[in-house]
Amino acid sequence: MESKRHPAAVAIGASHIPSEATRERAEGFKNQGNEALKEHKLALAVEYYTTAIELYPTAIYHANRAAAHIKMESYGSALKDATEAISLDPAYIKAYYRRASANLPLGHLKDALRDYRTVVKMKPSSAEAKSKLKLCEQLIRQAAFADAIQSERNRPLSETIDVNSMVVDATYDGPHLPQTLTSEFMVQVLDHFKRGKLLHRKYVIQILVAIKTLFASLPSLLRIPLEKHENARITVCGDTHGIHTQRQFYDVCNIFEMNGLPSEKNPYLFNGDFVDRGSFSLEVVLTLFIMKLTFPRHVHLLRGNHESKNMNKIYGFEGEVKHKYDDVVMTLFSEVFNWLPLAACIEEKVVVVHGGLFHQDGVTLADIEKINRNREPPEAGLMSDLMWSDPQPFPGRGPSKRGIGLSFGPDITKAFLAHNNLVRSHEVKDEGYLVEHDEKCITVFSAPNYCDQMGNKGAFIHFYKDLKPKFKQFTAVEHPPIRPMAYAGNMGGLFGL
């Protein structure tokens, strides 16, 4: 239950409290925001909360808007709202919880720990708060342990693991990994995953070791030519970490049914965020890795902000991998993710990135190509900007709503592209794509009905020789009734809104 008092009075002062009628209007907009949030209409919820705040800025309204921002992965905006809520009412427990929940995915573990401790102190009976505190403490210990192990280990696990000693037991009834990957094996794997079955652990490890070697041989910027024939094209797909549930695994299969499986004549570029937030991310990312190994020159994969240890711990991929396999497989995935390329350039004209552009002017494709990417994403720099930034409608650069990267305007896009196109992913769009910045910036999102909740369409883009984008929209397909987010922690609010 929410407090019946008006916490903003602490900061505003009694003489400046709005009239009762104004407060009632603000409360009405807050209630509409709560309903929109429950219906997963996140942008609309933010609008309602913003109107309520403009009428009467209370801790409750700011904390509720922080909850909406967290669900939108706008962690920077959530931090501002939660901090403002605390300044308005230092006793409002949900504000500390929301601030901790925004700091956690950003990797600000000590800041999150401090707020979770405050929440537990204020509400010692809350099992949810204690669970979050325990998770944060565990993440800090794991980070310290991983650093210690890495400093002692001279070579990465992928270079020392003994795959040959592993035995495929006779009870395994799935496809067997051939010496040379083929389209037939690719189809067998898809069918195996559709039936809810896993590949043998040995084969998964072999695939991860092979794909890491392949990625490590590539530059940070891929330069992708189109084939020479008249109808040559490439298909660009946005976030498939939208493949968060088994339903969205079926949505990926639906893309291939509509557009054909990858081949020499049907190349694909997948623009990051393959994992997290669901229960079948492992099947999705393994499918893409197998396709890349089968057609190394015609399947291209870029890194998104969810291909990182911290996001995988919080949003479910690590839990999923450890449930289905073990720590060894997860360590190998982390090594592979560190070698994923960061950007691509099609026909030297269309630049594809997961996030966006940079804090500084004058960045060239050659600068991107030379980025040392074999690491976890840093909090600042070219690599961070490529994975986290977002476009804004007005000129210039602004702070990132996510807390990492920046917001960049149409003038920044124009200066970087010099009259070329930019393709990005990173954000849910109702129609599956959005064209902005004087048609120089396209956001494409290939996960329909995101997380089984958002109701958005998915889309992918065809680029032919003229390099004019041609969009293909699609909706979610039917799937078995399996709960999404089975391995992810609850990133929502304490005790509801």
| CATH code of the domain covering residue 405 | 3.60.21.10
Residue 144: which pLDDT band, with cuts at 50, 70 and 90?
confident
Pick the more confident residue, 421 or 30: 30
- On whether both 237 and 99 belong to a single domain, the answer is no
Q: Is the pLDDT of residue 492 over 80?
A: no
Q: So what's the pLDDT on residue 496?
A: 64
Q: Is the pLDDT of residue 478 over 60?
A: no
Q: So what's the pLDDT on residue 398?
A: 94
| pLDDT tens readout for residues 347-377 | 988 999 999 999 999 999 999 999 999 999 9
Residue 444: which pLDDT band, with cuts at 50, 70 and 90?
confident
Instruction: Specify the CATH number for the domain of residue 36.
Output: 1.25.40.10
Residue 412: which pLDDT band, with cuts at 50, 70 and 90?
very high
Pick the more confident residue, 208 or 281: 208
Distances (CA, A) of 363 to 50, 358, 368, 385, 404: 36, 8, 8, 11, 18
- On whether both 79 and 199 belong to a single domain, the answer is no
Pick the more confident residue, 428 or 95: 95
- On whether both 105 and 198 belong to a single domain, the answer is no
Pick the more confident residue, 435 or 52: 52
- On whether both 269 and 131 belong to a single domain, the answer is no
- On whether both 331 and 243 belong to a single domain, the answer is yes
Q: So what's the pLDDT on residue 4?
A: 42
**Summary mean pLDDT of the chain:** 86
- On whether both 95 and 226 belong to a single domain, the answer is no
- Does 254 reside within a domain? yes
Q: So what's the pLDDT on residue 426?
A: 44
**Which percentage of the chain shows pLDDT scores above 70?**
82
What is the total count of domains within the chain? 2
- Does 494 reside within a domain? no
- On whether both 237 and 379 belong to a single domain, the answer is yes
- Does 496 reside within a domain? no
- Does 487 reside within a domain? no
**Average pLDDT of the residues in 3-18:** 52
**Average pLDDT of the residues in 61-79:** 95
Indicate if 306 belongs to the active site. Answer: yes
| pLDDT tens readout for residues 305-315 | 999 998 998 88
Which domain, by its residues, includes 14? 9-147
- Does 260 reside within a domain? yes
- Does 239 reside within a domain? yes
**Average pLDDT of the residues in 230-253:** 69
- On whether both 400 and 447 belong to a single domain, the answer is yes
Catalytic residue selected from 200, 306, 354, 437 = 306
- On whether both 347 and 226 belong to a single domain, the answer is yes
Strand 350-353 with 421-424, pairing: parallel
- On whether both 111 and 223 belong to a single domain, the answer is no
- On whether both 59 and 107 belong to a single domain, the answer is yes
- Does 463 reside within a domain? yes
**Which percentage of the chain shows pLDDT scores above 90?**
63
**Average pLDDT of the residues in 107-134:** 94
Q: Which of 14-18, 42-46, 241-245, 266-270 has the lowest mean pLDDT?
A: 241-245
Contact between 359 and 400 under an 8 Å Cβ cutoff? The reply is no
Choose among 204, 206, 283: nearest CA to 240.
283
Q: How far is CA 248 from the centre of its chain?
A: 15
- On whether both 236 and 330 belong to a single domain, the answer is yes
**Average pLDDT of the residues in 192-211:** 96
Residue 266: which pLDDT band, with cuts at 50, 70 and 90?
very high
Q: How far is CA 25 from the centre of its chain?
A: 36
- Rounded CA-CA distance 398/395 in Å is 9
- Does 170 reside within a domain? no
Strand 397-399 with 268-270, pairing: unpaired
